[in-house]
Structure 1
Amino acid sequence: MFDSRLLRTFDEVVRAGSYSAAARALGYTQPAITQQMKALERSVGTPLFVRVGRRMRLTEAGEALARHAGIILENLSVAQEQMTALTRLHSGRVRVCSFPSAGATLVPEALARLATDSPGVRVELQESEPPESLERVVRGEADITLAFTYPGLREQVPEELVEIPLLEDQLTVVMPAGHAMAQRRAVKLEDLAEERWIAGCLRCRTNFLHECAELGFAPDIVFTTDDILVVQSLVAKGLGIAMMPGLVLSFLVHDRVAGRALDPASRRQVSAYVLREHLSIPATAMVLDELKAVAADRVGC
């Protein structure tokens, strides 16, 4: 392996044509240049120069090394610039996995901030529900994942992951705008026991059934779908009502759909998860900071 310091000195000697000229250009003494070139020759195992009068002439090995030195030094310079950019948060790639409602709200807001503050940081988006989304980080397929947990239904988080709480997301009931309960600011789940329901992902559905069971009834689930837009369309057509996260309220697309909070309030915890060692990677830390800032703004609203 070549010592880059010695290689830079060698390149300057070749350019300048003598040890003394290279010493003046580099700000070294001539004996220092001589010692460095001897060290480089010991490293490669053969002489690189022969003296011809007052000038140094390259040996065959020296000519071969000279042909490569410039390219090697240029590549080292490019690599150094990239490392500097990465450590100063100017660039980097971060793979972010999120569940749909966070992917439609928290993530775009964080990326907009990131694009302004650190445009060189590139984010690749993935979508998955927990617990699969957590496993993606463990397997090295994602750098950050956003996931949610419900009280009493919390699953074991892989020990390799660090949880970073972002916000508590209040659950709502989405219903047709003309529904009698839509006139209220908040609704009680037990008052909707006779309704037809549209259920979401497995984890959300499990929590919904758990909350209904706690109130002493089993809901009539007529449709199940993970697609938030499909849920809204089914509700808009009067085919049922749905329990959905509060994050969804910011992108309700049907004017015939209304969202009402539950009374008493029911919430889920939204957190970011990352491998502990990745907390020290600048680009990953920057994305986490933006996600925390976006979440804090929503909590303060």
Structure 2
Amino acid sequence: MTDTNAFDTVALRLFDEVAKSGSFTAAAELLGYTQSAVSRRIAALERAAGGPLFERLARGVRLTPAGVALHRHAVAVLDRLDRACEELTAIHGGSGGTLRVGAFATANVDLVPVTLKRFAERRPEVGLRLVEGLTTRLMERLQAGALDVAVISDYPAGLPADGGRIVPLREDRLLVALPRAHRLAAEPDVDLRDLADETWIEAAPRGQPTLLVTACAAAGFTPRSGLRVAEWTGKFGCVAAGLGVTLVPELAARAVPADLVLRPLRGLVPARKVYAALPEVPLPSAREFVRLLGEWQVCTTASPT
């Protein structure tokens, strides 16, 4: 073969139709070409193939051995292209392909899983992938084309300057987790100043800015640090054991065990903001997922007693 450019999809479709119909004329009529145009394209294909692909008979044509070999490959190529077109149509129509979602850790407690479930019920034909990470890393992946939508927050470093399309979702309020025997556990809400003498269970290394430090500073005191535990389950265990209290983002309320009490905080308490980030040209499935994110309702395990 000397001219692979001759093996374009138009030529392969003409070749396939001639092979199936056994006639240049029949193929031309079916595909909307003149008989001479089909003859020229087949002749060019034969030159590129290095020899005849059809035997010219008194009534029609039939494949030569070389034609049989090429036809087998042509059918495979055309089938793959047809399936690719179908898949692309489904992706751009929001009814196929894979939706790649990224989210920060706390969003994966309830917000993102509940939304993924609702999305899967509506679009079972769309595959789903989930990646967890910090906002900065998620935005890098989104901009690199490795994610279709990212759930991010403005804490602690704010939103990136170049973030594509940013959709505000909600504020993530701070709640306080108390042991059930705590003196304030029966209150409907708690003033942070009433917790000035408490020992606080924290997660971040010393010296790093946290919402706890910011919130307590706004309330006029410096929190007394106790144990430092990285994982939520460990923090909740320490609170349940009476070793201190801790702040819990509203997004993580579902993860709080039933032997603790969650209470909202009164006053000017800082809250981080949660957003969805999309590429400049988002997939329809990503837009639908963001719409469902906006419909999510917080599930709190807080109870009156």
TM-score, structure 1 length as denominator?
0.83
- Which sections of structure 2, spanning at least 5 residues, go unmatched? 300-305
Partner SS, residue 185 of structure 2: helix
Partner SS, residue 182 of structure 1: coil
Alignment-mate amino acid for residue 129 of structure 1: L
Match of 2:303 in 1: none
Indicate conservation of the 8 Å contact 1:161/1:274, yes or no.
yes
Alignment-mate amino acid for residue 78 of structure 2: L
Which of 254, 270, 286 is matched with 1:284 structurally?
286
Which of 182, 185, 188 is matched with 2:188 structurally?
185
Match of 2:160 in 1: 157
Partner SS, residue 278 of structure 2: strand
Match of 2:91 in 1: 86
- Gap change, CA 1:44 and 1:175, over 3 Å in 2: farther
Matches within 5 A, 1:1-301: 1=5, 2-23=7-28, 26=30, 28=32, 32-42=34-44, 45=47, 48-49=53-54, 51-58=56-63, 62-149=67-154, 154-201=157-204, 206-253=210-257, 255-264=258-267, 266=269, 267-277=271-281, 279=282, 281-294=283-296, 297-298=297-298
**Mean CA deviation greater in 185-194 or 5-14:** 5-14
Indicate conservation of the 8 Å contact 1:9/1:33, yes or no.
no
Indicate conservation of the 8 Å contact 1:168/1:270, yes or no.
yes
- Gap change, CA 1:16 and 1:143, over 3 Å in 2: closer
- Gap change, CA 1:9 and 1:118, over 3 Å in 2: same
Name the CA distance, whole Å, in 2 between partners of 1:265 and 1:187: 12
CA RMSD of aligned residues (A): 2.8
1:247-287 CA distance string (max 9 Å, x none):
2223322x32111111115322111123323x2x2332232
Name the CA distance, whole Å, in 1 between partners of 2:53 and 2:101: 51
Name the CA distance, whole Å, in 1 between partners of 2:136 and 2:53: 61
Alignment-mate amino acid for residue 291 of structure 2: D
- Which sections of structure 1, spanning at least 5 residues, go unmatched? none
1:9-39 CA distance string (max 9 Å, x none):
3212112222234356x275xx714312313
Paired residues in the alignment total: 289
Alignment-mate amino acid for residue 81 of structure 1: E
Partner SS, residue 259 of structure 1: strand
Indicate conservation of the 8 Å contact 1:160/1:276, yes or no.
no
Name the CA distance, whole Å, in 2 between partners of 1:204 and 1:33: 78
